[in-house]
Amino acid sequence: MKKSLWGTALFLTIILAAAAAQGAGPFDVRLPAAGVNLDPQALTVVGSMQSYEIQKGDNLLDIARHYGLGYLELGNIYRHWDPFIPPVGHRITVPTIWIVPARPAASIVVNTGAMRLFYYVDGGRKVYTWPIGMGVLDFKTPQGNFKVVGKKVNPAWHIPKSLQAKYGMSVMPAGPDNPLGQYKLTLSWGDYGIHGTHMPWGVGRLVSHGCTRMYPEHIKQLFPLVKVGTSVVYIYEPVMIGFKQGRIYMEVHEDFYHKIPDMLTYTLGRLENTGLITSVDLTRVAKIVEERTGVPTDITKGAGGMAAR
């Protein structure tokens, strides 16, 4: 890319088409065998690191979208920058690499602790993944088991009673101001669901009243793949542990919903419960917990603390 990501309408069209192909998958996975904590054949780290040179007119939010990332997946690495004026000419690391849930309890797993949706296909041998936006602190996206009970194109928004005075209506029809976007997967949880958005910069942030938001180009990919009746589980797990080529990886995210009193204690407990505590470099684990960038990093003893490639 040799110009601003939003230079012209034509270039924007090209960018969005490219974004749809960036990072989604499906990726090959090999889930650990049941009852095995460190399965040397397991593969739950997917994707690969990329890089990009900042051009005049770029901003981190658009770059994140182009590479199929939520804003914080990139912004947490470069949190010391103004996201709207990144330094031109600087080559940045783009973390298009993720740890997937090793033992999915449903076809769709939404991990609000990492702001990521995972869709398993082919009997769990392949996985798609996309970033999400989710509920603000006053309207937290819940945990639980659900099913897809409906699929809607150009859905109307049935506005919660607490917000009807603000919008001056109880139902907002489809259109450019409708926060649901063009596609919605309705869940067995009231009128909530997984849908697009009219505000793409909200993906990778706490923005909704409980629903799960996706970039318009991503929900357009997911929508035709999913059938009514598909199982969905929402989890909150900011500490993800994964495996690749017999090595142990970990990514740690911010505690978005302030559920974990002490992240280091929590992380060490996760490693202890999975039987991996003696196989990892604890100094490196502590550093990853402190930084909380969400980037998968090799924590195996003797690994040298390299981010996954």
Query: What confidence score (pLDDT) does residue 218 get?
Result: 97
Query: What confidence score (pLDDT) does residue 226 get?
Result: 97
Structural element, H or E, at residue 130? strand 126-131
Map tokens 């559920």 to a residue.
Answer: 259
Return the active site residues: 195, 211
Go through the domains of the chain in sequence order and give each one's CATH number: 108-235 (2.40.440.10)
Query: What confidence score (pLDDT) does residue 174 get?
Result: 86
Query: What confidence score (pLDDT) does residue 307 get?
Result: 61
Q: pLDDT tens digits, residue range 127-136?
A: 999 999 999 9
CB 299 within 8 A of CB 285: yes
Query: What confidence score (pLDDT) does residue 9 get?
Result: 31
Q: pLDDT tens digits, residue range 198-207?
A: 899 999 999 9
Q: Which residues contact 229 (CB under 8 A, 6 or more apart)?
A: 147, 148, 149
Q: 28 - beta bridge partners?
A: 126
Could you tell me where the beta strands, DSSP code E, fall in the chain?
27-28, 45-47, 50-53, 91-94, 97-99, 108-111, 116-121, 126-131, 134-135, 144-153, 157-158, 171-172, 183-187, 193-195, 206-208, 212-213, 231-235, 239-244, 247-252, 297-298
- Residue ranges of the chain with per-residue pLDDT less than 50: 1-21
Query: What confidence score (pLDDT) does residue 171 get?
Result: 86
When the pLDDT of each residue in the chain is averaged and rounded to a whole number, the result is 89
Query: What confidence score (pLDDT) does residue 306 get?
Result: 58
